[in-house]
Amino acid sequence: MILLVIGDFHIPDREKEIPFEIMQKIQNSKFDLILCTGDLTDPEIFNRLQSIAPVKNVIGNMDYYFGSREFPRSILVELDKYRIGLIHGTGIRPRGSPEQLAKIAYKMRVDILISGHTHAQSVRLHNHILLLNPGSATGSWGGGPSTGIPSFQILSEINNKLKISSTFLKSGRLSSQINIFNLETRELE
């Protein structure tokens, strides 16, 4: 199974559109499921994502201001060998705190917790819980330690290991960083 993890678009309130290079990469790839951390702010973004693959989306703190109230605050995705929790990350203090995120992961009983809100891409292991944040698909400002670099993640399972490909757009070029999470030992390799 191949999953696209993406979020924090903030279109049109902070950014005009998804960068061409990111949209091209997404449209030219095949995904079984898209996990979105919210803050689409424009319902049309959800429709564009749905044209690529089925979407599981949580509501972001800015989605309320744009009339997008139909999404849940959290989603549990159960796959064959692991469980993924999906949240936006609003209310986590300090933003993106691994301790706070791990507490949420334990409550949700998940192996992997995906969150957004910080606009800063990250792959972290905290107490054997994999914490992922795809960053902002548009690189929009996030009110905290955001990088301004558009990013997303692709997850794929290979031989009982989860490959996390974190993709960034810098100076008009896409580059990726690979991390491997061993599903048996629950450690990053």
- Which of 47-56, 62-71, 118-127, 168-177 is predicted with the least confidence, judged by mean pLDDT? 62-71
All structural domains of the chain with their residue ranges: 2-188
Is a pLDDT exceeding 70 seen at residue 67?
A: no
CATH superfamily, region 2-188: Metallo-dependent phosphatases (3.60.21.10)
Residue keyed to tokens 């279109």: 11
* pLDDT tens digits, 161-182: 999 999 999 999 999 999 999 9
Q: Which residue has the higher pLDDT, 52 or 93?
A: 52
Length of the chain in residues, anyone?
189
> Which of 55, 60, 92 minimizes the C-alpha distance to 73?
60
Q: Where are the beta strands (DSSP E) in 28-158?
A: 33-36, 55-57, 74-78, 83-87, 112-114, 122-126, 129-133, 151-158
Average pLDDT over residues 21-37: 97
CA distance 16 to 23: 13
The tokens of 93 are what? 């203090």
What's the confidence (pLDDT) of residue 10?
Answer: 87
Average pLDDT over all residues of the chain: 91
Whether the Cβ atoms of residue 13 and residue 67 lie closer than 8 Å to each other: no
Q: Global pTM?
A: 0.94
How does DSSP classify residue 38?
Answer: S
Whether the Cβ atoms of residue 151 and residue 177 lie closer than 8 Å to each other: no
